[in-house]
Chain A
Amino acid sequence: MTFTTLPGTARPRRRRTGLPVSRRIAPYVFVAPFVALFLAFGIYPMLFTLRLSFTNWRGAGSAQWVGWDNYGYLLTNPAFWNSLANSAVLWLLIIPVQLVIALAAAILLDNAKLKARGFYRTAFIVPFVTPLVAVAQIWVVLFDTNYGAVNAVLGVFGLPDVAWLTSSEWAKPTLALLFIWKTTGFIIVILLSGLQAIDSSVYEAAALDGAGRMRRIWSITVPLIRRTLMFSVVLQTLAVFQMFAEPFVVTQGGPYSSTTTAGLYLYNHITRGDLGTGAANSFLLVILVMALSLGFVRLLRAKD
């Protein structure tokens, strides 16, 4: 009854014989609701998708086994690669900018003597607690070419109007801006928790050595919180490649599919009723995202 098969997950505990029945049964009762829901809505559908991805099922009628056809169809389909490329470009537009802003803000907030620290922290979290769909709607209004506030601000500085949402060059940066706006506060909080774990004597030693501010940040702070930084990158990579509500509400994937992200492309299989292909697409996306995450983790290990 009591042996453990994997090390590390269970706390070592005294082995007891003759425990009262109630105590032996209790844990099964406690996990039962979770296990029931987990099997029904977690494990079962996951295995089901794997099987589905090899059929041409459209959600009704009979399914035919089509082998690797769905995967082959996707891998030779420019629209599939376009969706991945769009997500990759968004990743490039988002991650570096976001990390620099979040790191700068977190380092400044890490100073206990900073005035109005609580105010800044609150202000930075506000975007994160707003409902994404509501904000996406606000984005549509703010970035309207003819009537939007953003172009009005540009006009104040004598700059020409920008077709934020209706040109394929600007639609991606506009979505990237929405994503950065929405999630940077969250990254600031994560980085701040990493910074607060650093012993301040490290900085004092470096200051005595005469290291400048930028140098101290680059050669002391960044290496010390590289785990937290990498963790943020992995989290945001997962989020960017699943990005769905932003293009769904703001651009509907356009103009000319320039904002059809991997997440939105996957959703489009559902609206077309092409569920076998959708299932195959899900798995390709999972493999890609897991590979990227593992790649980042390895990168981190290599530097250790």
Chain B
Amino acid sequence: MTISTQAGERRRPRIGSHAFLILLALAFLAPVAWAVLSAFKPANDIIRHPLEFDLGTFGLDNFVGMFHDVPILHGFLNTAIVLVVKGSITLFCAPLAAYAFAKYDFVGKNLLFGTVLVTLMLPTIVLIIPLLLEMKELGWVNTYQALILPGAVDAFAIFWMRQVIASVPDELLDAARVDGCGEFGLYWRIVVPIIRPGLAGLAVLTVMNIYNDFVWPVVVASSERMATLQVVLSTLASTISGNKIGADYATVTGELLAASTVALVPLLVIFFLLQKHFINGILAGSVKG
């Protein structure tokens, strides 16, 4: 699979290249496609004939059972609340701070920005235990604050937005000042419209990160009431067999695939609609350590 490119390349480049790329694309799409299609199959067929798909037998049984046994809607609700509040804080505060770093001088600016750069390089896992303890001290374990505030204005967003805002010409800001524009007005009416593509990339990346976040939610908000979508998903098998007396492997598997499908779809839809911003966001996001 990995060597097919090289061998036949010079004689028949197109066929060799395409064979490799098609195989790779298939390998990347197959697990998701298999899971989504299987979720519509009768549960027994999923395990007895995993490779056969008969459209005539497709139905929604697994989904109906899953919505009954798994508190997935509650997970969606919690994720949505965190997404809206945390996402808004990130998208408002990070570019604003980045604007100050890019276009103003102030005491402590270099020290502060240096600290931002250092935190970019630290593995995120180092903060999990101390943050958990801080949440315990504050009495915030299993609360929305705990899910929302830590990491709401992350160092990476500032680092990235500072680079984007640095490209806005100073002359434009000075001209607007002459016209009597206030300092926040400069940001809101001049900077924001110019950096809109960068903001879109940040928005997409932020949504993806919050939606997929798992380590922090499972540590700080694992109660049934506060579980986010990913936390709900992480214990599917035990949840399903706990809520359905006498559930066999087939039933559990069917509902598990139905839940995974429901969780996959929103991000895939956003991805297909906003592909360009996604790629930009991922590329910029790759700077993050």
Q: Contact residues of A with B, CB < 8 Å?
A: 1-2, 4-6, 9-11, 13, 22-23, 26-28, 30-31, 33-35, 37-38, 40-46, 48-49, 52, 59, 97, 100-101, 104-105, 107-109, 111, 114-115, 119-142, 144, 146-149, 152-153, 156, 181, 184-186, 189-190, 193, 212-214, 231, 234-235, 238, 241-242, 244-245, 248-249, 263, 266-267, 269-270, 275, 278-279, 282-283, 285-286, 289-290, 293
Contacts and interface: CB of A to CB of B under 8 A. Distances in A.
Given A126-B268, A129-B208, A238-B289, 19 more contacts: A1-B106, A9-B109, A22-B183, A31-B106, A33-B153, A41-B131, A41-B134, A42-B155, A97-B2, A131-B230, A133-B233, A134-B264, A138-B260, A139-B31, A212-B10, A231-B286, A242-B125, A275-B132, A282-B130
Given A34-B94, A42-B119, A132 B212 contact: yes
Contacts of A289: 123
Interface residues of B, number: 108
A185 B259 CA distance: 24
Given A27-B106, A133-B214, A267 B127 contact: no
B151 A41 contact: yes
Nearest to B162: A9
Contacts of B268: 126, 129-130
Interface string B106-126: 110111111110010111111
10 contacts: A9-B113, A30-B187, A49-B129, A109-B21, A129-B271, A133-B234, A185-B28, A242-B124, A282-B125, A293-B289
B190 to A, nearest CB: 14
A122 to B, nearest CB: 7
B182 A30 contact: no
Most buried by B among A129, A184, A186: A129
B140 to A, nearest CB: 11
A123 B29 contact: yes
Interface string B204-243: 0000100110110011000000000110011011000000
B215 A126 contact: no
Contact of A127 (B32, B97, B104, B237): B32
Given A2-B105, A9-B110, A37-B152, A147 B50 contact: yes
A241 B47 CA distance: 34
A261 to B, nearest CB: 11
Interface in B1-59: 1-2, 5-6, 9-10, 14, 17-18, 20-21, 24-25, 27-29, 31-32, 34-35, 38, 46-48, 50-51
Contacts of B35: 138, 141-142
A126 B32 CA distance: 9
B73 interface: no
B200 to A, nearest CB: 16
A59 B24 contact: no
Given A10-B105, A245-B215, A52 B133 contact: yes
Contacts of B47: 144, 146-147
Nearest to A148: B50
Contacts of B106: 1, 27-28, 31
Contacts of B104: 23, 26-27, 30
B21 A125 contact: no
B142 interface: no
Interface of B: 1-2, 5-6, 9-10, 14, 17-18, 20-21, 24-25, 27-29, 31-32, 34-35, 38, 46-48, 50-51, 89, 93-94, 96-97, 99-102, 104-107, 109-116, 119, 121-134, 136, 149-153, 155, 158, 166, 170, 182-184, 187, 208, 211-212, 214-215, 218-219, 229-230, 233-234, 236-237, 249, 253, 256-257, 259-260, 263-264, 267-268, 271-272, 275, 278-279, 282-283, 286, 289
B191 to A, nearest CB: 11
A181 B6 CA distance: 22
Contacts of A10: 105, 109-110
B182 to A, nearest CB: 7
B289 A104 contact: no
Contact of A46 (B130, B260, B271, B278): B130
B289 A235 contact: yes
A114 B26 CA distance: 18
Nearest to A283: B126
Contact of A275 (B28, B93, B133, B249): B133
A241 B127 contact: no
B153 A37 contact: yes
A285 B122 CA distance: 10
A248 to B, nearest CB: 7
A213 B12 CA distance: 12
Contact of A48 (B38, B130, B212, B263): B130
B123 A33 contact: no
A149 B34 contact: yes
A130 B28 CA distance: 11
A99 B104 CA distance: 42
Nearest to A119: B25
A213 B32 contact: no
Contacts of A129: 208, 267-268, 271, 278
Given A126-B28, A137-B259, A23 B183 contact: yes
A131, A146, A181, A238: which has the most chain B beta carbons within 10 Å?
A: A131
Nearest to A280: B129
Nearest to A232: B286
